[in-house]
């Protein structure tokens, strides 16, 4: 992602500063309530990446990076939607059919929680079929959580609201709208949710109020409504609240104690060698 790698040159030192060089577990977790400030360091109202679309892609990348940073060392992973990375049965289970037309939700990130002991292929490209077969045999133990990311709130809140309604309804058969294909649907998964994460790029004085239509539209999403700012009652949760609300089962104790152990063990992102490699790629 060019937009993400370009912005990373600015974001990385900012993230290091806010976490004491990734030595403070609590500060790493609380980045979720600061991601908007980090994002906006690349330009006025998040437009520093050149266009609205590239800014959106950069925001998706930053959210995905943050989720994986906290989830490092667990059996959960956040990935950008890609045919190669998502096991076919999972993609099939989330497919929405309208008559003969088939489509997947406008999801930017998919968080998958695999059962303990699940075997991952060394080379996904070469072992894609085996990966799919293993996922199909364990689909009842796999969780899938969609995270839609948007830099703007007002213009986009209706999209996750409508998709979440479709998934909650299990389809509208009388209208020819059903969910799932190839023998699987979302009810075969261990758990499923749909969340929305926004910057938002509106200036502070124009931030949504709890009574705003845009807020009401995402108030009852199955996965929750979040932004890269501190939690504001009646408006949105800080993204750092996402883990305990949806993934408490993947952490052996508290989220920040898990991060502290990862830092101590120098595993995942917290390894300095991993950071250096990432920065130079």
pLDDT tens track, the chain, 281 positions: 788 888 999 999 999 999 999 999 999 999 999 999 999 998 644 444 346 668 888 999 999 999 999 998 899 999 987 777 889 999 999 988 887 677 766 568 999 999 988 988 888 888 989 999 999 999 999 999 999 998 888 777 888 888 888 888 866 766 778 889 999 999 999 999 999 999 987 665 466 777 788 788 888 899 999 999 999 999 999 999 999 999 988 998 899 999 999 898 877 666 665 555 554 43
Residue 52, Ramachandran bin (φ over 0: left; ψ between -120 and 50: alpha; else beta): alpha
Return the residue matching tokens 């250096």: 276
Domain count, the chain: 1
**Rounded CA gap, 132 and 121, in Å?**
10
Order of strands across the sheet with 101-104? 101-104, 95-98, 177-179
pTM for this entry: 0.89
**Contacts of residue 68, Cβ cutoff 8 Å, sequence gap at least 6:** 77, 78, 269
Is 182 in contact with 22 (CB distance < 8 Å)?
no
How many angstroms separate the CA atoms of 100 and 89, rounded?
19
pLDDT value, residue 60:
92
| Sign of the C-alpha dihedral computed for residues 200, 204, 209 and 212 taken in this order | negative
Full domain range(s) for residue 190 = 2-279
């Amino acid at each position: 992602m060019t937009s993400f790698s370009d912005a990373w040159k600015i974001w990385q030192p900012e993230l290091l500063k806010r976490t004491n060089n990734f030595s403070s577990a609590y500060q790493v977790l609380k980045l979720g309530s600061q991601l908007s400030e980090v994002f906006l360091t690349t330009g006025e109202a998040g437009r520093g990446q050149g266009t609205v679309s590239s800014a959106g892609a950069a925001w998706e990348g930053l959210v995905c990076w943050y989720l994986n940073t906290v989830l490092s060392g667990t059996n959960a992973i956040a990935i950008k939607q890609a045919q190669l990375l998502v096991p076919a049965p999972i993609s099939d289970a989330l497919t929405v059919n309208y008559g003969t037309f088939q489509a997947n939700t406008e999801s930017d990130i998919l968080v998958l929680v695999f059962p303990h002991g699940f075997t991952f292929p060394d080379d996904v490209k070469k072992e894609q079929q085996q990966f799919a077969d293993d996922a199909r045999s364990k689909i009842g133990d796999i969780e899938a959580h969609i995270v839609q990311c948007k830099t703007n709130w007002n213009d986009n809140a209706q999209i996750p609201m409508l998709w979440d309604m479709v998934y909650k309804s299990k389809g509208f058969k009388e209208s020819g709208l059903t969910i799932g294909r190839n023998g699987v649907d979302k009810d075969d998964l261990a758990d499923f949710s749909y969340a929305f994460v926004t910057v938002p790029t509106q200036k502070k004085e124009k931030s949504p109020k709890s009574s705003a239509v845009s807020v009401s539209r995402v108030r009852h999403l199955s996965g929750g409504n979040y932004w890269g700012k501190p939690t504001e009652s009646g408006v949105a949760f800080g993204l750092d609240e996402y883990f305990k609300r949806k993934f408490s089962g993947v952490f052996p104790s508290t989220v920040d104690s898990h991060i502290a152990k990862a830092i101590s063990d120098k595993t995942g992102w917290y390894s300095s060698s991993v950071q250096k490699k990432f920065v130079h790629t």
